[in-house]
Structure 1
Amino acid sequence: MKLKLKFFLFFVILQVGTIQTGFSQRNLSNLNQTLRYSRYSRLGLKIIPIKENETDFKLQMVIEKIEENPNFNTFSFSYSILESYEQEIKDDEVNLLTDNDLKSDTERHWFFEKTVSIPADQKVAVALLTVLDTRQGDEYYYHVDLKSPFIFSQPEFGAYYANNVPFDQNFLNKGQSLLFKSEQGPNLHAFYYPAPFEVPYPPMETKPSAVPKELEVIDQGDFLANVPKSLDGEGYYFIQGDTSESSGLLLKTTHEAFPKVKDWEEMVQIVTYISTRKEHETLLAAEDKKKALDQYWYNLTRNPDTAKDLIREYFRQVEFANILFTDFKEGWKTDRGMVYVVMGPPTEVNFYLDREVWSYGGLSESSKIRFTFVRIKNILTPHYYSLNRSRAYQPVWFKNISIWRSGKMAF
């Protein structure tokens, strides 16, 4: 009897160990990166790679302190270099970061910097930054491709705030200055694009969106590196160290109020996602945009207090979309920003080499709603994603719009 009991216990332990081992094999694709887009994140992570030569990359790992007065010792910091999105993340290949590794600790940021070497013949290399909040066990992730089929090359220079912390935002308010540091030469080159972009089609609209036939570009010529440069136009800039190469740095410049809404004219544009065509045309044609918008919000809810809550919540979503998804377009005008505004923050976020997948709700796999954003190679940014549109999205899309219009949406 004792022999049978021992055998049974051994079998159970073996089975549990097998299950745990199976679940413990983490890779980049099965990490749920939902905190990256959460409205309640305590930290904001960014990796900014700078190419030093054909094999070496400088990783500037910047952590924004969203939580007020965070304690460094309540977090665990680490980074990994992966050869694919499916490669197992093994403990012995994770590099811990301590306070001795801090290059800078400011009121707004912790900043680490490390140089890594990638074999010249390696096709894919991904840097992954992980921060564990030891209080709740929350894990924050941020990854960036150093080498992959979706990027041309990494820039050989960087952009910095006045305190020499790397610039980690997706936008810069026009008229502000940045310091561009380069060790490759005394000059950099700037191209300026003043073009505005249209609002994207909804997820169930399968026809391709209109593409501008011509895109105005203003060659601003060379400027000195290592000297503060003011970016005064509203649009976007593409900075290059060598104009014969494909690598460069995109900087979106915005109006002074961004990521918030600037005026009534812009507010009219942004409510398009939850408006009928007739409602939006009426707003566009109105001479007094403020009066028309006041009436618009009241007509949706028939309750002034509910209307105020709805306005506050909707434009809070727009603000987060601008912070998170701005590239050469304002964040709310991107496909990811559009889905974020209407559907809210996703409950699951998974990245693959060629796509990003958002999941919403559902206790089972079959009941979840998924939005797939396909990655597109773009000279301006390595983070350009386009939504895979489908008519199947129509029921859930209209349902969420109805919830917005009733004033019951909350995240």
Structure 2
Amino acid sequence: MKMKMKKYNLFIAILSLLIIASCSSSQKTSNKNVAGIYMPGLNLIDPEIIVFHKNDSISELHFRINSADVLYTKKREDSTFSANVLIQYELTDEELKAVIDTASVSFKDYGDNKQKKYLDGVIKFNTQTLKSYSLKITFNDVNRDQFIRKTVLINRKDNYNIQNYLVLDTNNNVIFKNHFNSSDYFIIQKNSSISDSVMLLKYYKSNFPIAKPPFSSDETPQEQQSFSPEFTEELTFDSLFQISYQISGKGLYSVKPQNSTSGPTLFNFQENFPEIKTVENMVPPMRYISTKKEYDLLLASENQKNDMDKFWREIAGSNDRARTLIREYFKRVESANNYFTSYMEGWKTDRGIIYIIYGIPNIVYKNNNYENWIYGEENNMMSMSFVFHKVNNPITGNDYVLSRSPVFKSSWFRAVDSWRSGRIY
């Protein structure tokens, strides 16, 4: 679904600033239940953010807020509805362990809660090369009196980390999720202080296997993947410090300087990603609740639509129930694509398989290195707890692997049997 975008350029030197004199303490994310981040439709503010080093002294924080996630209200004296967003940031020098910059800015958007659009903006702040910073930023939906706080590492140690490149579309809009359709163009803007004029683009096919059930042994042999590029191409920056390229085949497009292993990676998984709009794209995620024989027949079918409908009808017992199951199952698949996509589609990942089969976890504890999902009450013997460890992956920062265990076997089959008996788990 395409959404309109409204841009807000928040230039700190121009706006009236509220300087925050003291640092407020906050509860560590690892001790706080943040299950709401995986609840689609919860409509709570949760912006996407990207850091870009524009040159050797200025860094930018780009953000995108879904208008559906903020509350539009109207006061008696007003004729239109409006949303009010307050943004506060705190920049800490990692070496000095000292806060060196704090400020607050706000903006108002006019509209209503039924509009579908993005509120894009950028905050510029001063940084120095060869330094590292921690940026703590709080987004506050003033009308709803609800906020979210995020922390991001500002890496100025070298000119070749990912923060020195910004991915744009042909209208110069910032791309927050690097997946494209065939024939789309992308633009990469570089830090203007980087002298390199050429980047190498490597194209890889991306037919990665789906996640294994949570009880599978870690020693289970994995399908061997050939991760060598299909082709390599040189791209040259223009006078605006930009390169552009047109996406062709499905796969991964890795763009890096010649002397670095870090750079943007662009993806072409399927048309309309992360949404699932075709039968062709609906069949693969059904592997989690189908037998191998059923799945192979669906793949080989000359009329996948009829055979897929038959599968859901048979497990549901009626057309109405089948429609309910299909709606919920693929809603979870699309949510998994939104939340968990890394170097492969979100539904294929370890977090994706658990999310699709078990649903939204009751409790989520999250820190820099792992996520702990709990289904049921905490400290209850009957509850299920899944731990996902973050993988150091040069392509993506969203790669997590599940700590598998045989203890999950009975709950897994219970959940799958529920789906196959026509009941949403």
Structure 1 residues without counterparts, runs of 5 or longer:
1-23, 101-105
Change (3 A) 1:135 1:59: closer
Partner residue of 1:175?
183
Q: Spell out the pairing of 1:340-355 with structure 2 (5 A cutoff).
A: 340-355=355-370
Q: Does structure 2 retain, via aligned residues, the 8 Å contact 1:342–1:400?
A: yes
Shift of residue 216, structure 1, vs aligned partner? 3.4
Counterparts of 2:333 and 2:149, CA distance in 1: 23
Residues 20-47 of structure 1 show CA distances to partners (whole Å, capped at 9, x for unaligned) of xxxx751243343333222014344222
Amino acid at match of 1:232: S
Partner residue of 1:37?
38
Amino acid at match of 2:317: R
SS in 1 for 2:214: coil
**1:276 and 2:291 are equivalent in the alignment:** yes
Structure 1 runs (4+) greater than 6 angstroms displaced: 53-56
Partner residue of 2:266?
251
Counterparts of 1:165 and 1:195, CA distance in 2: 26
Shift of residue 311, structure 1, vs aligned partner? 0.8
Sequence identity (%) = 25
Change (3 A) 1:63 1:305: same
Partner residue of 1:333?
348
Shift of residue 341, structure 1, vs aligned partner? 1.3
Change (3 A) 1:95 1:380: same
Structure 2 residues without counterparts, runs of 5 or longer:
1-24, 73-80, 109-115
SS in 2 for 1:113: strand
Change (3 A) 1:33 1:295: same
Counterparts of 2:363 and 2:299, CA distance in 1: 36
2:201 pairs with 190, 197, 209, which one? 190
Q: Spell out the pairing of 1:11-410 with structure 2 (5 A cutoff).
A: 25-42=26-43, 43-51=45-53, 57-67=59-69, 70=72, 73-81=83-91, 95-99=103-107, 107-115=117-125, 117=127, 120=130, 126-146=134-154, 153-182=161-190, 183=192, 184-185=194-195, 186-206=197-217, 207-208=219-220, 209-224=222-237, 226=242, 228-240=244-256, 242-362=257-377, 364=379, 368-409=383-424
SS in 1 for 2:232: strand
Counterparts of 2:424 and 2:35, CA distance in 1: 19
SS in 1 for 2:189: strand
TM-score (structure 2 length as normaliser)? 0.76
Change (3 A) 1:54 1:114: closer
Q: Does structure 2 retain, via aligned residues, the 8 Å contact 1:255–1:262?
A: no
Higher helix fraction (1 or 2): 1
Counterparts of 2:415 and 2:93, CA distance in 1: 39
Deviates more, 1:43-52 or 1:71-80: 71-80
Q: Provide the aligned C-alpha RMSD in A.
A: 3.5
Residues 366-406 of structure 1 show CA distances to partners (whole Å, capped at 9, x for unaligned) of 55432211111111122221111111222332232233333
Counterparts of 2:171 and 2:82, CA distance in 1: 20
SS in 1 for 2:166: strand
Pairs aligned (count):
374
Amino acid at match of 2:120: W
Shift of residue 159, structure 1, vs aligned partner? 0.9
Shift of residue 347, structure 1, vs aligned partner? 2.9
